[in-house]
Structure 1
Amino acid sequence: MSFLECLPGTASLIEELDKKLLVLLRDGRTLIGTLRSIDQFANLVLHKTIERIHVGNKYGDIPRGVFVIRGENVVLLGEIDSEKDPKVELKEVSIDEILEAQREEQVKKQEEEKKRNKALLERGLQPHAEKVVEEFQ
């Protein structure tokens, strides 16, 4: 029995070992790091990992070091081609600046969601139950 036969669900990931990857997680976070290890459940170990936060045309990188990711939390995984130039012009900003921009964006989205839910309730429609409970607490 070969090594690839032992890891049927993750065999294609073996080719990605020691490559720089972008990983999008189920909670929306974006991680960039070098793939160092995988297992049969597609759990990943990234080395020299950064968490990249995008807000509009700005981004900031937060160093995270070694990062262990449970396979079920991976939404998207892809190799980063450092040779290609990005077509979208993004401006790198400080960690503090990007975290503040992210917070402002989240507050804005929450306010818009509250307005939407209120409008739905006024029309006799029921918005998503969890969100209604959160708003009225």
Structure 2
Amino acid sequence: MMENLSIHDPPPQPGGSSLGRAAAAASASTSSAAPQPQQLPPQMFTTAAQLLDLTDKKLLVCLRDGRKLNGVLRSWDQFANLVLQSTVERIYAITSDPSDPQPKGLYAEQTHGIFLVRGENVLLLGEIDLDKDDDPPPGFEKAEFAAVEKLAKERRAVEKTKEKKKLQKLATLGFEGENLGEVML
């Protein structure tokens, strides 16, 4: 039999004996001056159960590969596989112009429509505030998708090169990272 618990239900009391109930009553009477923090039932931490509240709402979904998707959550399953409708991918890049000491941020959007995301690829997701949804990200200007994508790829290539050099230097000092074998090849 499955219980329907909510966040407001008291945590289950250990032991079903009268001795256990008497100890619980005694602890309740001594702790009435200082209320104990309420514990959440274990069911509240199930990923799929948390998605129930987000169904039919606009979400930002950050994926493990770095992509950021905005879309309306229409369906999901027990593995947290998501079906997003009206999905838009947003990419970000920072320009580094030597003549301009202040780098500026650019962003671009590409429409995907219906998008299926495997649950294992979701890094983070959250509800979007619809009042602020149409505002551009602070410090960023909208640009062409191809231009922003090119800048973002160049920046990732530079960061990857720096990371390889750092791992190689650490290897010479005796440190071994989990990806060190890939770097040395």
Structure 2 distance, partners of 1:17, 1:32, is 14
Deviation of 1:135 (Å): 4.8
Structure 2 gap segments, 5+ residues each:
6-42, 95-104
Greater RCO, CA 8 A, separation 6+: 1
TM-score (norm. length: structure 2) = 0.61
CA 1:87 to 1:27, structure 2 compared with 1: closer, same or farther past 3 Å? Answer: closer
1:51 aligned residue: 89
* AA aligned opposite 1:128: G
1:114 aligned residue: 164
Deviation of 1:59 (Å): 1.3
Identity of aligned residues (%): 40
Contact 2:168 2:184 in 1 (8 A): no
TM-score (norm. length: structure 1) = 0.79
Larger radius of gyration: 2
1:97-112 map, 5 Å: 97-112=147-162
Contact 2:136 2:142 in 1 (8 A): no
1:1-137 map, 5 Å: 9=46, 10-56=48-94, 57-84=105-132, 88-122=138-172, 124-128=173-177, 130-136=179-185
Q: SS state of the match for residue 179, structure 2? A: helix
CA 1:87 to 1:46, structure 2 compared with 1: closer, same or farther past 3 Å? Answer: closer
Structure 1 gap segments, 5+ residues each:
none
* AA aligned opposite 2:154: E
Count of residue correspondences = 132
* AA aligned opposite 1:11: A
Contact 1:23 1:77 in 2 (8 A): yes
